[in-house]
Amino acid sequence: MPKRIYDLLTMGRSCIDLYASEVAPFPKIKNFAAYVGGCPTNISVGTRRLGLHSALLTAVGDDPVGEFVLNFLKSEQVDTQFITIKQGYRTSAVLLGMEPTGGFPLVYYRANCADIELTIDDVLASPISSSQALLISGTGLSKEPSRSATVFAVEQAKTAGTKVLFDLDLRPDQWHDLRAFGVVTRSVLPLVDICIGTEDEVRAIVLTHAAQATVTGSQVSDAHITGDTDSAVKALLSKGPQALAVKRGQHGAQVYLRSGEVIKAPGFPVEVYNILGAGDAFASGFIYGYLHGWNWYKSARMGNACGAIVVTRHGCANFMPYEQEALDFIASRGGF
């Protein structure tokens, strides 16, 4: 087996996150704080802060925003040598609000976006065979050429014996038809080892009628999908993954195994300030445990702890917890 230089290679979107500096209706926001975001990018930072050797495969534009993203990632010691600069395309941006009603609206600016231009050649230049695990995300499958590049990356990972982790990362406004999310996801699942997602994202995999999905108040990270969760879980696992970790917010997480076993990991009660980024923090902690050989329960509890820490903070990547910080948080609340 090739030497595994990296613990984790994450692949997909990256952006500048402009977070509202105050809790207010979106039209009345006065200031924004600039951070770095995007599901795979957040997880690359989250796992790096937990002590894993993480690399990121994404693309940015030849613009100051791309420089902003790269500068932050380098300061976090995420390996950036596989990030490509796409001439003629722009680094993407997201505006994020925190409303007094409890809503968290998102506005994506991804037209002419650099990271969706990742190619098969970019994948060939990446260290898949030198990584213990590859993490892909749903948004990377939403459009070409990133879709083909992502599928190719998964194929390369399976050939190399690299574990494939799939964060479902459903963002409805990035798909021409939300049902296409399920179609494409189902085609990839036979090559996936572990899936991570919310109950709504899992139900979206078997979505057949557009009316089953609703997005209110521009909360595209929190689309609601009707349907039977247990049936969707069985359908997902029947395609091949060994396990599915379902994020359930304040209720913790459940890990469903292909054998039929369900592991329930309770969450850590905290006062919620901002839910955005908590799912990627969970994934970071869960992957940390998985790659350390922990059992499913302990890995999920680590994920829950990281998520609980981040919901008390203002942003995503910039606010991911460090290893000892997360372990101390768990110890102060009764341990694993």
pLDDT of 161: 97
Residue 194 lies in a domain: yes
pLDDT of 101: 86
DSSP symbol at 59: E
Q: Which of 95, 93, 98, 55 is nearest to 77 (CA)?
A: 55
Residue 137 lies in a domain: yes
- Say how many domains are in the chain: 1
Residue 8 lies in a domain: no
Residue 7 lies in a domain: no
Can you tell me the distance from the alpha carbon of 63 to that of 44, in angstroms, rounded to the nearest whole number? 22
Structure tokens, 96 = 């994020």
> Amino acid identity, residue 32?
F
Residue 79 lies in a domain: yes
pLDDT of 291: 97
Range of the domain at 112: 13-331
Q: What average pLDDT values come out for the chain (336 residues) when binned by 10 residues?
A: 84 96 94 97 98 98 98 98 98 94 90 97 98 98 98 98 97 92 97 97 93 74 86 97 96 97 97 90 98 98 98 94 98 96
Residue 336 lies in a domain: no
Can you tell me the distance from the alpha carbon of 131 to that of 128, in angstroms, rounded to the nearest whole number? 5
Contact 273, 311 (CB under 8 A): yes
Residue 159 lies in a domain: yes
Stated pTM of the model: 0.96
Q: Which of 321, 257, 266, 315 is nearest to 33 (CA)?
A: 315
Q: What is the DSSP string of 251-280?
A: G-EEEEETTS-EEEE-------S--TTHHH
CATH at 106? 3.40.1190.20
Residue 5 lies in a domain: no
pLDDT of 274: 86
